[in-house]
Structure 1
């Protein structure tokens, strides 16, 4: 490719690219479940702007193009909640999802109110996602059914003791 992929905090100007990438990347999930009402496909631009203002939103860039993204926040119970990890289909399978996952864990772990554990979920049929999360140390702790009817697997992992703080470049 000739360029490296960089990971940084998302900025307001990234919102439309993030939404388009999310729509593209989650098509395979929608097809897998026969359900095109999954939240990443129905999210509005205003809802994404609100997440950008309140959550940790990271993007992976190849030049000026946003080719990956992930969101994180600290939940009321103190867990680091990770959501909507996605990578452009043409770059999947090259470790970018794992890099984004580590980056959001490090960004959340570097906060003053750092979580002691991280939590995320994925559809029960999403084998490649489950493989990625298990390889990163996540274990299943439960399940639930999303409002769109998809059965989700809830996974968690403990934050490593003495984990290095990480600052994502702006």
Structure 2
């Protein structure tokens, strides 16, 4: 008998599981670009703990296991930056990423006054780009990340929810 994946706000006790999950999930991105110095792989546990304490962080849980995570914060201009969306490789393709995005977008809008959502994806990360387009994001720019990876910048207006399936 299967268990349902639940989405909830992260707590400080989730930081270590988020840290480990992030390291696992972003290995495929690092391999895609031949760059193992991308931010999610070099971020420290203390930095993850700090983000959980200050940012809007959601997790997907399967029982007690954290199997997905996403983070967001809102600047003074009302632009919300969303990042480090990850879902355990064995559970990808089941809508968990879209559910996490919807949760963080809702919280950033209702609790932190976001007017616009912005996120980035590597230019070769077709699966991620497909997800973002499906949930309403549109490409607005291309930039080079601090790690040298070319990133596609995508945005959508707060409240512009698309289908999550």
Unaligned runs of 5+ in 1: 164-170
- Structure 2 length as normaliser, TM-score? 0.94
Partner of 1:141: 140
The CA distance in 1 between the partners of 2:100 and 2:78, in whole Å, is 21
CA distance in 2, matches of 1:9, 1:117: 21
Q: Name the CA distance, whole Å, in 2 between partners of 1:14 and 1:115.
A: 25
Structure 2 CA distance for aligned equivalents of residues 152 and 76 of structure 1: 23
**Residue in structure 1 matched with residue 42 of structure 2 by the alignment:** 42
- Note the 1:3-152 alignment, pairs <5 A: 3-111=3-111, 113-152=112-151
Quick one: distance in 1 between partners of 2:75 and 2:68?
23
| Matches of 1:70 and 1:114, distance apart in 2 | 18
Instruction: State the shift of 1:96 in Å.
Output: 0.5
Q: Distance in 1 between matches of 2:108 and 2:146?
A: 27
Q: Deviations over 1:63-108 (max 9, x none)?
A: 0000000001102321111110000000001110011011110111
Report how many aligned residue pairs link the two structures: 161
RMSD of the TM alignment (CA)? 1.2
Shift of 1:160: 2.5
State the Cα deviation string for residues 87-136 of structure 1 (Å, max 9, x = none): 0000001110011011110111112x411111000100000000000001
Where does the alignment leave 5 or more consecutive residues of structure 2 unmatched?
Answer: none
Query: What TM-score results when the alignment is normalised by the length of structure 1?
Result: 0.91
State the secondary structure of the residue aligned to 1:120: strand
Structure 1 residue 159, shift from structure 2 partner: 1.6
